[in-house]
């Protein structure tokens, strides 16, 4: 103990101050309030929980994959599970309260991933940021909890202005979702979706035409496939159709309105149109209902394809609908059954001039055709293109064809057929070949061979024996001829002598004739001698012969 300090402890003073309640309890209170408010906020700001089914969870991650609407994060994938049957992936999404209205029944969800297509590249930003789920808010009032995620982004979102139409196509061709729709070569829309029709006979395409342009779709509008490069090699030859480069790449559809379309009515949304193969077909007048006929050919129809034209008098009035093999049990042979669609309306004004009769359409057609068949109407598969062997069906009058049965009650109607022109040629050639085949060519050949051997022998004899002799003979002939030539030469002495001799003989003959004449007239001269009056006629010379010569030659 320090001695400088008193040993007694000091006396404290009392400060009388009002005792306050301890403020320290404010701290946990504030903490509780803040914590509670934050939890409340988190609870209040969380919107509905929805589940979305996807085919695959590629790129999705629970707690990390955001849900974006107009590029604003409006939710988060909270869990990813397999569906009970394991076929799909169920993503549970916690939406924000601000996005609570996104869970409409017709809202669509899809995963945005990097996509590279013919139409372009999309979602490239997700290469780095990872995939996210995008939303297209629906218009329905009812809200849903369970959604089926789209595998591909929808091309048309609910907010877009415009109208959609349904196109019925024979096949999809090179059209895909997002393929452009052109109007006067301006892109005015795109293909939103496609699906096979219920019966599988056609493809229903849904196209969306953007707002200012949709009013150009009217009742007189025709759509056609403007896709890519259309190369077709058919009975009517090689065809090559191209549109713009974009459609070559991505396919496309174009539409136009018929000029003479009559009263145009603006089409309602969802109107159904046929998608024509090309512009020509689209702008042609509509064919109307088709009449189906059955043709049975007894021979092969290699080169006849479905879609090949059916011509009547050289006019295309239909197309081949089916080609299939059939068996005729009665004849025990295979036949080709061809179904054709004939569009009577393609006959145009001809139809109006044809005679009308009572009954339903089929009945009338059958009656009418019965008459035609009686007059020789036959179906024939003709070669449209010798190069490719493509066939087409020709309906023509062949009066010389054998009579055929036509059953007016048969359904479908069966038109009688005759063999095609090429087949006729083939048959003729076949018969010729058959006849050739029947010729005893072998024995003929043998005979000819033997004869040739004989001939050879003869020739050899000729060559060895006859020819030298002939040569000799010819030589002799030549020498003989030379001698003869010497004889007959005008300059030869023999010739001259002969000439002179003949002249003298001539003269002698004349003298004798005169002498005989004189004797006829004066037979008495034999006895009395030559009278005086007749002497000059005898002596008168008529040519340049000398009297001396006469005197010499007359013995």
Partner 1 sequence: MLPPQASHMGLTRCHICGMTCVNDRPGIGDLRCGRCRAPLHGVRADRIGASWALLLAALICYIPANVMPVMYTQLLGNGSESTILQGVAEFWRSGSYGIALVIFIASVVVPCTKFVTLGLLLVSAQRKTPWKRRERAVLYRLVEVVGYWSMLDVLVVAVVAALVKFRALGDVEPRVGILFFGAVVILTMLSAMQFDPRLNWSGEDS
Binding of partner 1 by 10 (CB under 8 A): yes
129-148: contacts with partner 1 (CB under 8 A): 129-130
In the complex, least distance from residue 103 CB atom to partner 1, rounded to whole angstroms: 23
Distances (CA, A) of 69 to 116, 150, 151, 268, 377: 22, 15, 17, 30, 67
Closest to partner 1 by CB, 78 or 202: 78
Rounded least distance, CB 126 to partner 1, Å: 8
Query: How would you class 253 by CB atoms within 10 Å of its CB: exposed for 0-12, middle for 13-18, buried for 19 or more?
Result: buried
CA distance 395 to 378: 6
Choose, by CB under 8 A, the member of 106, 125, 427, 457 that binds partner 1: 125
Q: Does 3 bind partner 1 (CB under 8 A)?
A: no
Greatest pairwise CA separation for the chain in angstroms: 250
Q: Which one, of 147, 215, 223, lies nearest residue 191 by Cα? A: 223
Which of 65/221 has CB closer to partner 1? 65
* Of positions 44, 121, 128, 526, contacts partner 1 by CB under 8 A: 128
Q: Kindly tell me which of 23 and 240 has the beta carbon lying closer to partner 1.
A: 23
Among 3, 12, 402, 403, binds partner 1 (CB under 8 A): 12
Contact between 58 and partner 1 per CB under 8 A? no
Q: Is 11 an interacting residue with respect to partner 1 (CB under 8 A)?
A: yes
CA distance 17 to 1: 34
Query: Quick one: how far is CA 78 from the chain centroid?
Result: 55
Distance CA 253, CA 104 (A): 32
Q: Which of 15, 87, 349, 443 binds partner 1 (CB under 8 A)?
A: 15
Binding of partner 1 by 552 (CB under 8 A): no
Q: Least distance from C-beta 39 to partner 1, angstroms?
A: 7
Q: CA 409, CA 362: separation in Å to the nearest integer?
A: 9
Between CA 357 and CA 477 the distance in angstroms is 98
Contact between residue 365 and residue 343 where contact means Cβ atoms under 8 Å apart: no
Q: Candidates 3-11, 172-180, 248-256, 465-473 — which segment interacts with partner 1 by CB under 8 A?
A: 3-11
Would you say 33 or 467 has its CB closer to partner 1?
A: 33
Binding letters toward partner 1, positions 17-46, x by CB under 8 A:
x----x-xx-xx-xxx-xx--xx--x----
Closer residue to partner 1 in complex, CB, 91/282 = 91
Asked if the bond preceding 412 is cis, omega within 30° of 0, the reply is yes
CB 401, CB 411: distance < 8 Å:
no
CA 106 → CA 81, 245, 460, distances in Å? 23, 36, 108
Residues at the interface with partner 1 (CB under 8 A): 8-17, 22, 24-25, 27-28, 30-32, 34-35, 38-39, 42, 63-64, 125, 128-130
């Amino acid at each position: 103990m320090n001695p400088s300090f008193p040993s007694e402890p000091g006396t404290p003073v009392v400060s009388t101050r009002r005792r306050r309640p301890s403020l320290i309890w404010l701290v946990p209170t504030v903490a509780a309030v803040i914590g509670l408010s934050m939890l409340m906020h988190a609870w209040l700001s969380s919107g509905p929980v929805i589940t979305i089914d996807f085919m695959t969870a590629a790129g999705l991650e629970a707690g990390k994959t955001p849900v974006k609407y107009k590029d604003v994060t409006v939710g988060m994938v909270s869990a990813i599970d397999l569906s009970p049957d394991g076929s799909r992936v169920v993503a549970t999404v916690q939406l924000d309260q601000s996005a609570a209205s996104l869970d409409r029944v017709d809202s669509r969800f899809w995963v945005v991933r990097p996509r590279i297509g013919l139409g372009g590249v999309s979602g490239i930003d997700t290469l780095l940021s990872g995939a996210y789920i995008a939303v297209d808010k629906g218009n329905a009032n009812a809200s849903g909890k369970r959604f089926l995620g789209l595998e591909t982004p929808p091309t048309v979102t609910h907010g877009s202005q415009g109208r959609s139409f349904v196109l019925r196509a024979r096949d999809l061709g090179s059209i895909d979702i997002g393929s452009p729709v052109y109007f006067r070569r301006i892109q005015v829309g795109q293909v939103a979706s496609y699906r096979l029709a219920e019966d599988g006979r056609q493809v229903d395409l849904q196209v969306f035409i953007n707002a200012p342009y949709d009013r150009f779709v009217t009742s007189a509008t025709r759509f056609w496939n403007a896709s890519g490069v259309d190369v077709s090699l058919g009975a009517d030859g090689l065809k090559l159709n191209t549109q713009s480069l974009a459609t070559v790449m991505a396919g496309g559809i174009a539409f136009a309105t018929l000029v003479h379309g009559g009263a145009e009515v603006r089409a309602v949304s969802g109107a159904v149109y046929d998608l024509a193969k090309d512009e020509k077909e689209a702008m042609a007048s509509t064919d109307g209902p088709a009449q189906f006929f059955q043709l049975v050919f007894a021979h092969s129809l290699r080169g006849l394809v479905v879609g090949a034209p059916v011509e009547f008098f050289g006019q295309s009035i239909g197309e081949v609908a089916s080609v299939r093999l059939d068996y005729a049990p009665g004849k025990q042979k295979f036949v080709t059954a061809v179904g054709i669609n004939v569009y009577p309306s393609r006959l145009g004004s001809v139809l109006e001039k044809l005679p009308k009769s009572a009954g339903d359409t089929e009945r009338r057609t059958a009656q009418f055709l019965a008459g035609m068949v009686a007059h020789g109407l036959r179906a024939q598969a003709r070669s449209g293109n010798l190069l490719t062997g493509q066939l087409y069906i020709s309906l023509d009058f062949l009066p010389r064809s054998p009579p055929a049965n036509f059953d007016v009650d048969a359904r479908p109607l069966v038109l009688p057929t005759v063999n095609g022109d090429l087949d006729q040629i083939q048959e003729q050639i076949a018969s010729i070949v058959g006849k050739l085949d029947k010729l005893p060519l072998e024995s003929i050949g043998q005979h000819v061979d033997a004869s040739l051997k004989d001939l050879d022998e003869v020739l050899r004899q000729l060559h060895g024996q006859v020819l030298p002799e002939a040569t000799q003979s010819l030589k002799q002939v030549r020498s003989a001829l030379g001698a003869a030539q010497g004889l007959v030469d005008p300059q030869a002495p023999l010739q001259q002598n002969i000439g002179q001799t003949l002249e003298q003989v001539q003269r002698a003959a004349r003298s004798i004739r005169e002498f005989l004449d004189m004797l006829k007239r004066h037979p008495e001269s034999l006895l009395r001698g030559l009278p005086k009056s007749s002497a000059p006629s005898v002596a008168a010379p008529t040519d340049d012969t000398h009297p001396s010569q006469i005197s010499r030659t007359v013995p």
